[in-house]
Structure 1
Amino acid sequence: MGSKCKSSRAYDLMMRFIFISLFAICVCIEKQTVLASDATSSGKSEKFVGHKHARRKLDDIGGDISIDCGIPSGFMYLDEKTQLSYKSDEEFIRTGVNKNISSKFMSANLQNTYATVRSFPEGNRNCYSLRPPEGKAKTYLTRASFMYGDYDDEDKLPEFDLYIGVNRWDSIKFDNASHVVIKEIIHSALMDEINVCLLNTGKGTPFISALELRHFHNATYRTQSGALVLYRRLDVGSTTNQIIRFKDDHYDRIWVPYPGFPGSASINTSFIIDSLVDSQYRLPSAVMKTAVKPMNVNDSLEFDFEIGDPTLQFYVYMHFAELESLQGNQHREFTITLNGNLWEKSVVPEYLQSKTISSTQPARGSKLNFSLCKTSNSTLPPILNAIEIYILTDTLQEPTDQDDVNAIMDIKLSYDVGKGWQGDPCSTLNYSWDGLNCSYNGYKPPKIISLNLTSEGLTGKISPSLSNLKSLENLDLSNNSLTGSIPEFLSQLPLLRVLNLDGNKLSGSVPTSLMARSQNGSLLLSIGRNPDLCLSAPCQKEKRNIVMPVVAASVSLLVILIALLIFWTYKRKQAARLNVDNSHSKKEGSLKSDNQQFTHSEIVDITNNFHRILGKGGFGTVYHGYLADGSEVAVKMLSASSSQGPKQFRTEAQLLMRVHHRNLASLVGYCNDGENVGIVYEYMAYGNLKQYLFDETKEALSWKDRLQIAVDAAQGLEYLHHGCKPPIIHRDVKTANILLNEKMQAKLADFGFSKIFPAESESHISTSIVGTVGYLDPEYYSSNRLTEKSDVYSFGIVLLELITGLPAIIRGYNNTHIVNRVCPFLERGDVRSIVDPRLEANFDTNSVWKAAETAMECVPSISFQRPTMSHVVTELKKCLEMETAREQIQRTKSQMLSLSSSVDISAVDVETEMGPEAR
């Protein structure tokens, strides 16, 4: 009987397997027929094949990813022209819809990747996640391609932004519906996963046609910082007018044919050009076999590129190979100048071998002007085979800490969390993941400090990956269906302050270490509405006599009620007196700290009976004083006529007690003696920045001093925004509130209007409008929505004041705002006309330009377009480095001139020879 049963089951299983196999074959045949029909109707001549088709990879290049966005899920094809294998984008993104371009834009010559698109009508940010096998710390070329083709039948050209990771890559704009836009970037991957994100800027629905990634095995394209966005890659002297890419180009770079420049002639060879002997660039022989030279042997090869944007920085790569077999008396040697500066003093191309001349420092200017000139030893004119020009783009924003990324991705997969979790979890572009809050501490990678997954339908056990979020302070898993016991690792998260497990199906006992933290006040623990959870140990159901506990509880309750009644009666009798006392004690209690408290009589002694006045403001009068140890202090006393004084006093005093930074004014103590209210803080000998900028009796600040002051003040703001938890918004950043000590160190002061963000705050808070005219964020003024970017705007105005020596509101017939004053000059590339004339042109022009650009980045009327203070600090430090280098060069020149009596040394004009041209 047993053998018959086994035989029957085996026969049944075999028949099921045969049936399933036949069904799968039928489905596959049906899909192939439908897809072949779709491909024909859409203009795609290639047949789609299944995933098991052998992929044709780029020769010797790992990490290649070729995605045709918008093709049906689960299919791939081999492109006849490039011999590259393209696949659908289903495994790289979970959002968006597939669309075909309009039939009127289909043609036999249209590249396959442009026939379909993936469109993103929902969500402000949609991200592709690419995970090359080589992982992080490697160099990659990422290419995104777009053709609108009226895929949505709207006939409206969209505009949107493209991001690589958390940093902006470029903006996507179209001239017409058939315009093909290709964006390339060469970058080093900071994380194992590379995110390419499309951001909706409110000007149309983002879409993408194709996405490709290529891995570079070497470090050929290197910069000191940032990434390289392609501006031009030209096959100079091309005779075929054909684009060259893989398989001719090992790295699949796209070379655009460029016949030549005015006054030049093309030359070529039929021999193969060796690009491996002296070049790591592995240049395609098809590109290097052609070149241009001047028609006249004695002429230079000159050409330029009109950039338009004077703020951009460029890296240039010129590629050479000698194509003519030179005779014994022939020699080709030439120099290269860029924007009038000698770039390479001797270039001698080698016969049939590639040679590359590349930038070591970025070029800058409104125009890139190249001149290749034969040397006195040369009998032949210069040549050029190919050129690449890249725009340097900053990648200052750090991605989320890798351990946190790995942990949150595991949590996402474990619970299948939707919530639009795409791209970098802690992106500071106002697109961080829903339910996440992160810490942004200067230049360190952001870390996840709060995770809210309440009411997300979570099932199963509490994920062990939570233990890897070491910076987690707040965890909310309430109102789900989590089962199992509460894991011990939750008590070992060192910074965890709030844990909410309320409303689940957890069972077992609560870890004793977790209960201990809850009882000592270091953890706010919520574990209610878990019926099977035992709150005491040992967790056993026992039969007990319930009579005595009930009686004892009833008696205890009665005693408590009687005691409360007596206490309440006593309180009512003492209400009037206690109300007065409580009002005073609340004010004083809120100020208790380690700082010194002074009586009014002590303040009188400190200030020598308020003898010396340092200044006056809306709060009251500021006096100079000495403590008993002889140290100088400033004492700010509340004026009786100040309506907002008491509130401002408490705000400022409380904030000064909790913030400690070298660029914030330090609190020494306070006075809260009856009607006499005041703050005692460190004395700043040189007063405030406003006095130094606009008091003509004071010595003018040098450009280096101004930059150092700007860096100091920016670092103080950065600490308030990103170093304090919760963050603090100053709300009254201006030159009068930046104080200077005897070492000219700047410190931010006057926190009377400051606002603390709530712990669970989103991107803004709504509050009444306060601040100073001229410095006030226009978006905050119109909407009452306060964000950290409100301070950024005010700081941008301060920076413009430092550059120009002009106040925020320039008094006169029209009372011109400083932004409106400087904009016309900057737009026409004239930065010198806005610089404070008291500087007497004693500054580095590049440094001033960068400072002006940073200031203008801070003052757009829309807050999300402004940078963070961390970015501002970084840019200003670069400005300071430039100015410091200029001063060192000048000192060196002076020393050389003073030491040299017999040798005539021509001093180099740094601004003329090294600075940018007029923009």
Structure 2
Amino acid sequence: MDSRPPLVWLIFVLATIMSSGNNLELVAGKPHNAASTFPHDHPSPLRLAADTQGFISIDCGIAPGSSYTDDRTQIHYTSDAEFTDNGINYNVSRSENPSKQLMNVRSFPEGARNCYTLEPEKGKGNKYLIRAFFMYGNYDSKNQLPVFKLYLGVDKWDTIKFKNPNKTVRKEIIHVPKTDYIDVCLVNNGSGTPFISALELRPLDNSSYNKTELGSLLLSNRWDFGSDQEKFQVRYKDDALDRIWNSYKNPFWESITAGFESYSYSDNPFKLPGIVMSTAATPKNESEPLSFFLDMDNPSQRFYLFMHFSEVLQLQGNQSRVFTIWLNGTLWNDPVVPKRCSSTRIFRTNSVRGSRLLFSLVKTDESALPPIINALEVYVIKEFSQSTTDQDDVEAMKKIKSVYMVRRNWQGDPCLPMDYQWDGLKCSDNGSPTLISLNLSYSNLTGKIHPSFSNLKSLQTLDLSHNNLTGSVPEFLAELPSLTFLNLAGNNLKGSVPQVLMEKYQNGTLCLSLGENPNLCVSVSCKGKQNKNFIVPALASIISVLVLFLLIAVGIIWNFRRKEDRAMEMVTREGSLKSGNSEFTYSELVTITRNFSSTIGQGGFGNVHLGTLVDGTQVAVKLRSQSSMQGPREFQAEAKLLKRVHHKNLVCLAGYCNDGTNTALIYEYMSNGNLRQRLSARDTDVLYWKERLQIAVDVAQGLEYLHNGCKPPIIHRDVKTSNILLNKKLQAKIADFGLSRDLAIESGPHVSTIPAGTPGYLDPEYYSSGNLNKRSDVYSFGIVLLELITGLPAIITPGNIHIVQWISHMLKRGDIQNIVDPRLQGDFNNNSAWKALETALACVPSTAIQRPDMSHVLADLKDCLEMVGPMRTQRIDSYKMGSSNSLKSCAVDLEGEMAPHVR
């Protein structure tokens, strides 16, 4: 029969049943025989109401704006919608009925890092208990237990792993932040989608849980000894601080209880719950010590222990309880004399460590009663760097995010960790980094340029181009001391440019771009009333000049169009695939493609359809869509180029159609699709390592021919895996020459043009300067080679991480096995892989002059290929079947001798 009063027993039974998810094991000492007494000489006092002021209680995954009061704890929970930006809500279906907070989750399938931002009332420099709950419950119906990382601010807190779908994992830490906000972040490490069930913050007294060593206190476990119910937990309201106490009962020990609860325990900073301190454990054999082991998973970890003692019996005049505490046979603490209705806390100022910690509570010679213990807390010292981005920069970026409602994955610290920097940012590499570059081009920004930009004192580059910014150009931009590049082009700014900005531009200290702002004036004449008389007469002159310019431009365009038409006529005469004729009518295309019934691809030009010629040759028909951004100019450029150049690694043009309304290009059919499709995780037909190297050599040969075998040299401008096609023998050919440009001899080593290409593959120097040269293609090819090596796309999702950034992070581990596509299962030559990776990285420096010529790249790749012997596994008839006919006009190989590459 339980001795607790009915009210105590009722609340005890209703306590929540949750697993702590901790690895620390408590093992009692050998059994002893003894008896205990259970006095019941005090009635239970009324419970005192606990105070939830300062509590942050978030139920993750419930509807935005909703809230409720938990029936069990009487804690008020709110939706997490105001604490994080991303994620998807899911319900968890279980046959059991756990805590309400575990019945839904917020899942984060997008982004490498997703964060909750907590802003406690007391702010920085105060002590908080932070707790997160995770219960998978097969919420996504995949039956795949994820593994992901939990971060506190910029540092890893722990790794979240699950033993089974219905196992609750709880992570808890006592932490003192150095900022007024606390970021709790979930990081996707590629082993499953992160999610969270609940997140809680509880303020603590700053004088509690003190330590002498640096670091936060990561909870290993917190035990309530002597409780009659092994599986029940104690938390709020019994514990005013809402700590969760796991009851521990062992048959080798006796449980003794006071039979009542005293609230005098709440007088000290620890505010220990009476229901915990009113019970204790004691050895059954009074002459033996009370012993237990703590088995540690990691012997190198440092632990802090807080032991709590309180006398639960009413001792008689001749009774005493005195004992010492020993650790692994060495005296750990002086004699302890527990006091009735008052707690005694024992902890050492220095941490302990070891694979097994044996604690023995031994009664002294003068003691009449055996030792007892009421509660035990064990924590691991967790050191955090506590370095963050400069706080002025952080506040400025948060304000910018709020004002413009930026829809990027801007969560957590902007610069740290370096692997998870905010999109569009570059930061200095020091202990407390600052922002040095901010690119918000094409970000749908509206309104005026906000004053928060003026707080980014270390900013060197600011790109706000191609948004819908209005108002004037603010003078505070000129006050940014480090700013050397400012791009405000493509907005709706008006008025005049501040004189100090113009002066910086004129003296060469600031690169300034202001184009495509129709109402913005860069002239001094825009200022002041004295200039009004200037505007009217000047307007007539300006109009005259514009009319003259327009007439000249029309003449140039007309002359250009005539030349283009003549060129297309030459294309018609020179083609020879279908009975000597490469010009097709639209009706012929309808017949060839069976009314465009088989779509095999899609691009910026339009859909690509499978067709069959009269002689049975299969072709790919790229039909221009009316909505395509690529017009007649790109069509003519590609047709002219492919009729002028021939190489086994360039896709062959079979013909074209241009009847004024319908435009199409007809190519040889490449039955194995494009390289991006073959590298995709969805393609189960994995490319072997030697096949990947051969594809890289094929592409390098094609580019080397364009750069060095053509006069003038040709720059492709859009080299990417989706523009590399594979035939049935996996021979690679470069396609899509709509953006290609001649590098005319008279133009020098480069040609200036508006940057074009695909994000992720676009040469950074070309993008910033507009100066196009052969090494722009080398950069793009380097990205393609990295994709071949890793199997990853140029922009890795979630997180929009560039593949070069990912490689840089992985290289720190120094293990090629972590870099090469895991689908190869280690079936590759290590030396070949390292050399291929070295070759790829040589192609992608941000400065073009640091990149090699394609002839050197090709030579290195051939060396890589020579290192590889026969494949361990031969591919047997696994290609997609295409036509047995080949295109006869494509068999010209202009590969030349290559000079050795000196590293």
Class of the TM-score when normalised by the shorter of the 2 chains: 0.5 to 0.7
Alpha-carbon spacing, 1:112–1:447, altered in 2? closer, same or farther (3 Å): same
Contact 1:313 1:392 in 2 (8 A): yes
Alpha-carbon spacing, 1:545–1:192, altered in 2? closer, same or farther (3 Å): closer
Q: Provide the residue aligned with 2:205 in structure 1.
A: 217
Q: Provide the residue aligned with 2:471 in structure 1.
A: 484
Aligned amino acid, residue 240 of structure 1: Q
Q: Which runs of 5+ in 1 are unaligned?
A: 1-56, 553-760, 791-919
Distance 1:383 1:207 in 2: 42
- How far did 1:479 drift? 1.2
Q: Provide the residue aligned with 1:248 in structure 2.
A: 238
Distance 2:186 2:51 in 1: 31
> More displaced, 268-277 or 320-329?
268-277
Contact 1:274 1:354 in 2 (8 A): no
Alignment of 1:383-402 (within 5 A): 383-402=372-391
Contact 1:766 1:785 in 2 (8 A): no
Alpha-carbon spacing, 1:453–1:263, altered in 2? closer, same or farther (3 Å): same
- How far did 1:536 drift? 2.2
- Of residues 143, 148, 151, the one that matches 2:136 is 148
The CA RMSD over aligned residues, in Å, is 3.3
**Which secondary structure does the structure 2 equivalent of 1:505 belong to?**
coil
Q: Provide the residue aligned with 1:295 in structure 2.
A: 284
Q: Provide the residue aligned with 1:423 in structure 2.
A: 412
Alignment of 1:667-706 (within 5 A): none
- How far did 1:340 drift? 4.1
- How far did 1:153 drift? 1.3
Q: Provide the residue aligned with 1:439 in structure 2.
A: 428
- Of residues 267, 270, 276, the one that matches 1:281 is 270
Alpha-carbon spacing, 1:93–1:349, altered in 2? closer, same or farther (3 Å): same
Contact 2:266 2:273 in 1 (8 A): no
- How far did 1:188 drift? 1.0
**Which secondary structure does the structure 2 equivalent of 1:430 belong to?**
helix
Note the alpha carbon deviations across 1:660-711, whole angstroms, 9 max, x for none. Answer: xxxxxxxxxxxxxxxxxxxxxxxxxxxxxxxxxxxxxxxxxxxxxxxxxxxx
Alpha-carbon spacing, 1:352–1:158, altered in 2? closer, same or farther (3 Å): same
Percent identity for Structure 1 against Structure 2: 50
Alignment of 1:79-94 (within 5 A): 79-94=70-85
Q: Provide the residue aligned with 1:199 in structure 2.
A: 187
Mapped pair 1:72 → 2:60: no
Distance 2:507 2:264 in 1: 70
Q: Provide the residue aligned with 1:333 in structure 2.
A: 322
Alpha-carbon spacing, 1:341–1:494, altered in 2? closer, same or farther (3 Å): farther
- How far did 1:506 drift? 1.2
**Which secondary structure does the structure 2 equivalent of 1:77 belong to?**
strand
Distance 2:281 2:403 in 1: 60
Contact 1:304 1:367 in 2 (8 A): yes
Note the alpha carbon deviations across 1:430-483, whole angstroms, 9 max, x for none. Answer: 1111011122323xx322221110111111110111111122121111111111
Q: Provide the residue aligned with 2:506 in structure 1.
A: 519
Note the alpha carbon deviations across 1:601-659, whole angstroms, 9 max, x for none. Answer: xxxxxxxxxxxxxxxxxxxxxxxxxxxxxxxxxxxxxxxxxxxxxxxxxxxxxxxxxxx
Contact 2:205 2:269 in 1 (8 A): no
Mapped pair 1:129 → 2:120: no
Q: Provide the residue aligned with 1:726 in structure 2.
A: none
- Of residues 480, 497, 513, the one that matches 1:493 is 480
- How far did 1:79 drift? 1.5
Contact 1:69 1:117 in 2 (8 A): yes
Q: Provide the residue aligned with 1:528 in structure 2.
A: 515
> More displaced, 386-395 or 263-272?
263-272
- How far did 1:429 drift? 4.8
Contact 2:807 2:819 in 1 (8 A): no
Distance 2:539 2:121 in 1: 65
Distance 1:345 1:772 in 2: 49
Alpha-carbon spacing, 1:89–1:344, altered in 2? closer, same or farther (3 Å): same
Q: Provide the residue aligned with 1:96 in structure 2.
A: 87
Q: Provide the residue aligned with 2:435 in structure 1.
A: 448
Distance 1:339 1:512 in 2: 77
Q: Provide the residue aligned with 2:335 in structure 1.
A: 346
- How far did 1:255 drift? 0.4
Q: Provide the residue aligned with 1:363 in structure 2.
A: 352
Contact 1:766 1:786 in 2 (8 A): no
Contact 2:265 2:274 in 1 (8 A): no
**Which secondary structure does the structure 1 equivalent of 2:505 belong to?**
helix
Distance 2:336 2:228 in 1: 25
**Which secondary structure does the structure 1 equivalent of 2:340 belong to?**
coil
Alpha-carbon spacing, 1:375–1:764, altered in 2? closer, same or farther (3 Å): farther
Alpha-carbon spacing, 1:551–1:352, altered in 2? closer, same or farther (3 Å): closer
- Of residues 154, 174, 179, the one that matches 1:186 is 174
Q: Provide the residue aligned with 1:376 in structure 2.
A: 365
Alpha-carbon spacing, 1:485–1:231, altered in 2? closer, same or farther (3 Å): same
Note the alpha carbon deviations across 1:553-579, whole angstroms, 9 max, x for none. Answer: xxxxxxxxxxxxxxxxxxxxxxxxxxx
Distance 1:534 1:216 in 2: 59
Distance 1:140 1:470 in 2: 32
Alpha-carbon spacing, 1:474–1:167, altered in 2? closer, same or farther (3 Å): same
- Of residues 87, 103, 126, the one that matches 1:138 is 126
Distance 1:456 1:766 in 2: 24
Contact 1:129 1:196 in 2 (8 A): yes
Distance 1:323 1:773 in 2: 55
Q: Provide the residue aligned with 1:509 in structure 2.
A: 496
- How far did 1:275 drift? 4.4
Q: Provide the residue aligned with 1:814 in structure 2.
A: none
Mapped pair 1:469 → 2:456: yes
Alignment of 1:769-918 (within 5 A): 779=819, 782=833
Contact 2:134 2:196 in 1 (8 A): yes
Mapped pair 1:231 → 2:247: no
Contact 1:275 1:283 in 2 (8 A): no
- How far did 1:271 drift? 3.1
- How far did 1:173 drift? 1.2
Q: Provide the residue aligned with 1:612 in structure 2.
A: none
Note the alpha carbon deviations across 1:27-67, whole angstroms, 9 max, x for none. Answer: xxxxxxxxxxxxxxxxxxxxxxxxxxxxxx98334321112
Distance 1:106 1:74 in 2: 28
**Which secondary structure does the structure 2 equivalent of 1:466 belong to?**
helix
Contact 1:331 1:380 in 2 (8 A): yes
- How far did 1:110 drift? 1.9
Distance 1:305 1:95 in 2: 41
Q: Provide the residue aligned with 1:158 in structure 2.
A: 146
**Which secondary structure does the structure 2 equivalent of 1:513 belong to?**
helix
Distance 1:96 1:258 in 2: 38
Mapped pair 1:310 → 2:296: no
Aligned amino acid, residue 245 of structure 1: R
Aligned amino acid, residue 487 of structure 1: P
Distance 1:58 1:497 in 2: 61
> More displaced, 138-147 or 771-780?
771-780
> More displaced, 512-521 or 494-503?
512-521
Distance 2:107 2:819 in 1: 31
Contact 1:333 1:374 in 2 (8 A): yes
- How far did 1:767 drift? 11
Distance 1:762 1:497 in 2: 25
Aligned amino acid, residue 285 of structure 2: N
- How far did 1:246 drift? 0.3
Alpha-carbon spacing, 1:161–1:774, altered in 2? closer, same or farther (3 Å): closer
- How far did 1:230 drift? 0.9
- How far did 1:546 drift? 9.0
- How far did 1:329 drift? 2.8
Distance 2:812 2:136 in 1: 47
- How far did 1:419 drift? 1.1
